Structure 1
């Protein structure tokens, strides 16, 4: 019986140690967990005009797990296929369109509901200059709709993404 209690105590201690190493999840971060589908990927120009940043009907998916790990992808749906059907034999124009028509990154995300910011810690991105960066974004979360503004680009344009949570099946 003593060894059973020792095993239970050891197991609880291990779980506590593991939990101590896991990021603390508040209710706010837990409210982001799930799969989100892109509703809009717009850009607000310095003069206030708003237009689509990834074509008329962009597609995207944002997945956030309970520990705050995420994967995000945004694609232009009007990207042209490579003429050669071989990704290693594209033209400079095809490569440029493929790169400029996608935005992907993975890492961890945290939330600060007090100042309404999401913080993305980007481990890897389709744009290599974002690898290892930390990006804060102003957000709004209303029900199953999440929107956030990305930091302004060098030309002053501000990208805005709008996501809708998919229902759990």
Structure 2
């Protein structure tokens, strides 16, 4: 009888003891989660009126280093090789096909953990207007071991971009 009573008490303790939840557990800081190289999967764009903005077929990557540096690049995948075979001598049309749909920039970043925001400071870019531009933000909407999504809520065209990335392996 005492054994049964002890077993019941033990079961009641197990059932009524709260299990640590994600809310109460220490979560890995966003800054630590983003470190590494992420490969471009897709992006979507929306204007302020809610209409969609067509996005080019791209490939690219973003890298965040533990010491606070980053590199970002996307380029179109559907452009032909340069007829000249010389990267310094594209035709005007070839140059425009690449330049108008590619972007690369690099610099340093900080993370605001409370708003889940990456704040880049662009130091060099193929789009010079980004260099030193204030209010750059990348709001991380979700992140896991293998996928990250963030929005760029302010860009020169007045379009909010959402990017999907997969962790490089």
> If the length of structure 1 is used for normalisation, what is the TM-score?
0.72
Which blocks of at least 5 consecutive residues in structure 1 are unaligned?
A: 1-25
Higher helix share: 1
CA drift of 1:101 comes to 2.1
Secondary structure at 1:132 match in 2? coil
Partner of 2:142: 141
- The question of whether the paired residues in 2 share the 8 Å contact of 1:111 and 1:117 is answered with yes
What is the rounded CA distance, in whole Å, between the counterparts of 1:154 and 1:127 in structure 2? 10
Inter-CA distance 90–47: structure 2 relative to 1 (3 Å threshold): same
CA-to-partner distance for each residue in 1:41-95, whole Å, 9 max, x for gaps? Answer: 221234423355222xx21111111112111111110022222222332222221
- Aligned residues, how many? 140
Larger radius of gyration: 2
CA distance in 2, matches of 1:80, 1:59: 15
1:67 and 1:88 map into 2 onto residues whose CA distance is 34
Contact 1:41 1:52 in 2 (8 A): no
Instruction: Kindly report the root-mean-square deviation, in angstroms, between the aligned alpha carbons of the 2 structures.
Output: 2.1
Which of 159, 162, 165 aligns to 1:163? It is: 165
In the TM superposition, residue 40 of structure 1 has moved relative to its aligned partner by 0.8
